[in-house]
Amino acid sequence: MNGQLGVLYQNNEQIGGFRNWMIKSNLMPIQSKKWASYQSTWKAWGKKPYFLRVPRDNIFDVTFYLVINNTLVEVYKEKVKAILPNTFPLDEYLSFNLIMEVA
């Protein structure tokens, strides 16, 4: 799934966001002694992240939005763990991609 806008929240406050996201999920087979099952794996990427406040940690509530017929539509929400650099500026788009996994 691909979309245009993602918003990052911590403690119900918007602290940042990103543009042009992609979510990829896979089913990984898990074999037990009696039966086979599948475990879902999930990863998302967001380009050009920005932060309005310094994050408290690397766990975020994320809302993903998609443009449908010129309307911004919320399509997915998830609690994620993101990989962040040690330092970065606030209030400007950053040059790295934000990589997220289910927390």
Residue 90 CA to residue 74 CA, distance in Å, equals 25
Question: Given a cut of 90, is residue 81 above it in pLDDT?
Answer: yes
Residue 12 CA to residue 69 CA, distance in Å, equals 29
CA distances from 58 to 9, 28, 50, 62, 69 (A): 11, 26, 14, 12, 34
In this prediction, residue 74 carries a pLDDT of 96
In this prediction, residue 90 carries a pLDDT of 86
Model confidence pLDDT, tens digit, residues 16-74: 999 999 999 888 788 777 777 877 788 999 999 999 999 999 999 999 999 999 999 99
